[in-house]
Amino acid sequence: MRNPIKLTVVSVSFLLLHLAALAVFWVPFSWGLVALLAVTYLVRMFAITAGYHRYFSHRAFRMGRVPQFLLAFLAQTSAQKGVLWWAAHHRDHHRHSDTPKDIHSPIAQSFWWSHVGWVLSDEFDTYNPKTIPDYGKYPELVFLNRYHWICPWIYGAGIFGFGLLSGLGGGAALAWGLALSTVLLFHATFSINSLAHLWGSRRFRTPDHSRNNPVLALITLGEGWHNNHHRFAAACRQGFRWWELDITWLILLGFRALHIVRDMRPWPRDLRAEVGR
């Protein structure tokens, strides 16, 4: 039986951020704030999908040390804890997917636990460094991971300053560009842990219950092609067919053209034959 949710810094902060997001109903509305919400959501979602997930968890492409640090910093502005913590636990998820050892399976546990309970519980506050020795060797990433709260605070200060300078208002910018944007990021990301193992289609007979879902793929920039991903987790591209929109993959193609990323891992040849089914 999993540990019950306790009043910890994480759980209290999670609740307060949700309450802060309600402030959007009390600040003056403007389309500029809607644009701020869209930009802050999309940019940080890309950092989560390309950074936390495809790069740090699965090594689906390579990049230099400076862009690696910047991508980790940007991902951590999402307030989803540290980059090493995130990637280490995700690697454990793939190792034990939908078994009792899976840390966030809606099949082995419950929808609530898989969606948000495991994050709020103090059961997984730490991680095993042996799970991620490839990136744990970088002192700057270890620093970011240890002091992961610095990133959202710096981000929040930047959003507040932008709100003041742009005329949107500091408080309004925080409500839309920090609180609501981050809450939406939480639940979109968490939906891959929960809904993407319950709702959608299965192209491949993987050992787990992963599913492809175009709705989830749209709001997570491609992560909703989850059955595809579980069939070959190391592939940089998760939308295997032309109509499976994978925005993260398309952006990474642009970065490859700019020589920011390289060695984007393709599907293996035997998988390409399966995709045609």
pLDDT at 214: 97
* Least-confidence region, from 84-88, 119-123, 214-218: 119-123
To the nearest whole percent, how much of the chain has pLDDT over 70?
94
0.75 exceeded by pTM: yes
pLDDT at 49: 98
pLDDT at 111: 92
Name the residue with higher pLDDT: 143 or 273: 143
Residue 88 reports pLDDT greater than 60: yes
Residue 93 reports pLDDT greater than 60: yes
**Average pLDDT for the chain:** 93
In whole angstroms, give the CA distance from residue 71 to residue 277.
36
Residue 173 reports pLDDT greater than 70: yes
pLDDT at 200: 96
